[in-house]
Every structure is written in structure tokens, then in C-alpha cells.
Structure 1
Amino acid sequence: MKRHVDGVTCGGCALSAAGATAAPLLWLSMSRTRRHLGGGFEDEGMDFSVLLTELPFVVVGGAFLPLLAFTLLVRWVDRRRG
């Protein structure tokens, strides 16, 4: 099987980096996260443990899922070419 190292690898890495950047930004913009990080009324519900429990999963998921979709798309296109 011939591997496309040039553009496909660079595209996958760029997509992974974009996902790892966009996922935490989206996570921070959600009302639930803002409430846990101090957006509650008079500091009610402040729970900074979400930074240790949820944030790593958000970053890993944001990096991995776009890369997985990109990999599956590239393999599907390669199989269609024959």
C-alpha cells in the first residue's frame, strides 16, 4: 500500500491541531463549564476539578476525532481509486 506522506500527513496534523484548539474553546463557551469555573451566583457551584477531569478528555477528543475522520476519509478515497 502506497502511503501519502507529504500533503496527507501535513493535513492530518493540521486538522488534529485545529481540533485540539477548537474543542477547549467550545468547551469553555458552554454555560455548564462557565458555571463550574465561577460563573455561578456568588460563587455557587464553583468546581475547579473540571480542569483536571474534563479538560484533558476534551483536548484529546478534539485532537483525535478529526484525525480519525480524516484517516477514514483518506482510506475510503484510496480504496475507490483502486
Structure 2
Amino acid sequence: MGRRRDAVTCGGCLVSAVGAAGAVFAWGTSDRTQRHLGYAFENNGMDLGVVCTELPFVFLGGAVGPAAVWALGACLLGRRRRSDLHS
């Protein structure tokens, strides 16, 4: 039971890290973010406030969302396996 729990925990951490990195990458490469960071014509509309206001939420959403789905799947799989053992 201990090794399986460690594998599930490690998988959840990996999914969370990949989700956070993917969310930040997708946010950074979007046209909207590029405009705010000054990649428009002659840096018109440069607003570095998006880094302070949006980036933390993007990072947290990218990390928490996939981890929550992973935890839900692990919980449901564990519940199903326990009911199969008792039957």
C-alpha cells in the first residue's frame, strides 16, 4: 500500500508541475499577454502590472486544476478497488 500511495503522490506532483508550466507558457505566448508586455507597435500599451496581477493566478490555476483532477481520479479508483475487494 505504501509504494502505491507514493506513486500516486508523485504522479500528482508531476501533473501539477506540468500543468503550472503549461499554463504559464500558454499565458505568456497569448496575443493578449504579448500586447500587455509591450510587443505591440513601439511598445504602445505596455503594462507590466499583468505580471503581478495575472501571472500568480495563472500559475496557481495551472497547478491546482490538474492536481485536483488527479486527486479525484485517484480517490474514485481507490474507492472502486476497495469495493471490488469487499465483494
Please say whether Structure 1 and Structure 2 have the same fold, judged by a TM-score greater than 0.5.
Answer: yes
For structure 1, the 5+ residue unaligned runs are none
Cα deviation, residue 5, structure 1: 2.3
Corresponding position: 1:54 with 2:57 = no
Residues 2-31 of structure 1 show CA distances to partners (whole Å, capped at 9, x for unaligned) of 774210000001111111111100101100
Query: Cα RMSD (Å) of the superposition?
Result: 1.4
What are the within-5 Å matches in structure 2 for residues 1-82 of structure 1? 4-81=4-81, 82=83
Percent identity over paired residues? 48
* Equivalences, count: 81
Cα deviation, residue 53, structure 1: 0.1
Quote the Cα distance in structure 2 between the aligned partners of 1:77 and 1:5.
12
The letter for the 1-side match of 2:53 is: T
Superposed structure 1 runs of 4+ greater than 6 Å apart:
none
Greater C-alpha radius of gyration: 2
The TM-score normalised by the length of structure 2 is 0.86
Quote the Cα distance in structure 2 between the aligned partners of 1:76 and 1:45.
47
Cα deviation, residue 38, structure 1: 0.9
